Structure 1
Amino acid sequence: MTVNLTRIYTRLGDGGETHLGDMSRVSKTHERIEAYGTVDELNAQLGVTLAQGGLAPRTAQWLARVQNDLFDVGADISVPEGGSRERLRVVPEQTKWLEEACDEANAALPALKSFVLPGGTVQAAQLHVCRTVCRRAERRTIACGEAVNAECVRYLNRLSDLLFILSREANVGAAEPLWEPGRFR
C-alpha cells in the first residue's frame, strides 16, 4: 500500500471542514478529527522523544514501531465503518505486541511503592508527556462512540501503559521521583 502526495495544500479546509478517510466532509472539530489529530500529536511527541536521544536501543526501536502503528490507528479512526472498500484497521496482534513489550520491560523494574511523579531524566519526563497525550488520544477515540474500531481504544490503552513502563525504565540509575502523600501540608 502506497500513499502518493503531490500537493500539500488544497484549500479544501479553508472553510473549517475536512474530509474523513471515506471522503465524507465534516467539521474540523468533529470527534474523529479530534481523535486522530491527538494521535498525530502523540506521534509528534514520540518523534521529539526519539530525536532527543539517550534511549536504550530497544526502546528506540519499539518507539519507532509504535510511530508506524500510530499511523495505522489514525487511518482506522479516520474512516467510518462500512463502505465497499477494504480499509486498514488496527488488529489485536498489534495490541498483543504492546502487552508483550510491557511484560518484557516491566520484568526488570523494581516494584512500585508509590505513584510516580513525571520527571527524573529528560527521557523519562518526555515519555510521561507522551503517556499523557496518549491518554487524551484514548479519551478522544472513546468519544467517537461505537462507530470506531474498539481495537484502537485497546491499542492506545496498552500504549499508555508501555509509555509509563518505559518512563520508569528511563529512570533506572537515577532517583525515580515518587509521590509522598501530604508531604508539604
Structure 2
Amino acid sequence: MGNRLSKIYTRTGDDGSTGLGDGVRIPKYDLRMHAIGDVDETNCAIGLLVTELPADDDLQPWLARIQHRLFDLGGELCLPDYELIKMEHVTELEQWLDQLNEDLPMLKDFILPGGSRAAAVCHQARVISRRAERVIAQLSAPDSGSQIPNVRPALKSYINRLSDFLFVAARVIARRNGGSEVLWQHGL
C-alpha cells in the first residue's frame, strides 16, 4: 500500500496536481481530494476530542479504533479499488451506537452543540464528518466530475454511521458528571 516518504516535499505538486496511492496524478481540486481532506479533518477533530476526555474514559478505545478506520477510509479514497472499510466495521459502529444510546432519554428536542467543552468538540467532529459524508456522496454520483468517481457502499455507510455515533457520543459526554445537554428553545 503506497510508498513511504523519505522526504516530505517532492515539488511534484507545484503544478497543482497530487498523486494518489497508486501513482495516478489528479488535480488538487478534484472532488476525491476534497473527500480525503474532509476525512482527514474529521480524524483531526476526533484527535482533539480524545485529548479532552480522561485517559480512562470508556469512549477512548472506540475513538482510537475510529481514528484508525478513518485513516483506512482515507487510504481507500487514495487507492481506488482498494478495499479497507468493510460492512463489519459499519456493524461495529452500530453496536457501539446502540450501547451508548441505551441509557439516554428519548430525544424530544433539538440539541445545540455544547454542554461541556468535550461535548462541543464531539459535535464539531460530527459536523465535519457530515461534510465528509456529503462530499463522498457527491464523489460517488455518476456525474461527479471526478476523474476517479468509484466509491464502495461500505465506505459511504461507515462515514454516515460515524456521524450518528458522534452525535450520540456528544449527548453522552454532555450528560456526564452531572452535566446536561443544551436544548434548542424556539423563538429565544
> What's the TM-score, normalizing by structure 2?
0.89
Hey, what does 1:179 align to over in structure 2?
A: 184
1:68-112 Cα shifts (integer Å, max 9, x gaps) = 00011101112223xxxxx34311011100000000010011111
Hey, what does 1:84 align to over in structure 2?
A: none
Q: CA deviation at 1:54?
A: 3.5
The whole-number CA distance in structure 2 between the counterparts of 1:100 and 1:79 is: 28
Hey, what does 2:47 align to over in structure 1?
A: 47
Match of 1:90 among 57, 64, 85: 85
Is residue 2–residue 21 contact of structure 2 (8 Å, CA) maintained in 1? no
- 2:172 maps to amino acid: E
- 2:171 maps to amino acid: R
- Structure 1 gaps, min length 5: 82-86
Is residue 2–residue 22 contact of structure 2 (8 Å, CA) maintained in 1? no
- Structure 2 gaps, min length 5: 142-149
How many pairs are equivalent? 178
Give the direction of change, closer, same or farther, for the CA distance of 1:133–1:163 in structure 2 (3 Å limit).
same
Match of 1:103 among 94, 98, 104: 98
The whole-number CA distance in structure 1 between the counterparts of 2:55 and 2:120 is: 12
Hey, what does 1:13 align to over in structure 2?
A: 13
Identity between Structure 1 and Structure 2 (%): 40
The whole-number CA distance in structure 1 between the counterparts of 2:120 and 2:75 is: 28
Q: CA deviation at 1:56?
A: 6.0
The whole-number CA distance in structure 1 between the counterparts of 2:166 and 2:123 is: 7
Give the direction of change, closer, same or farther, for the CA distance of 1:160–1:55 in structure 2 (3 Å limit).
farther
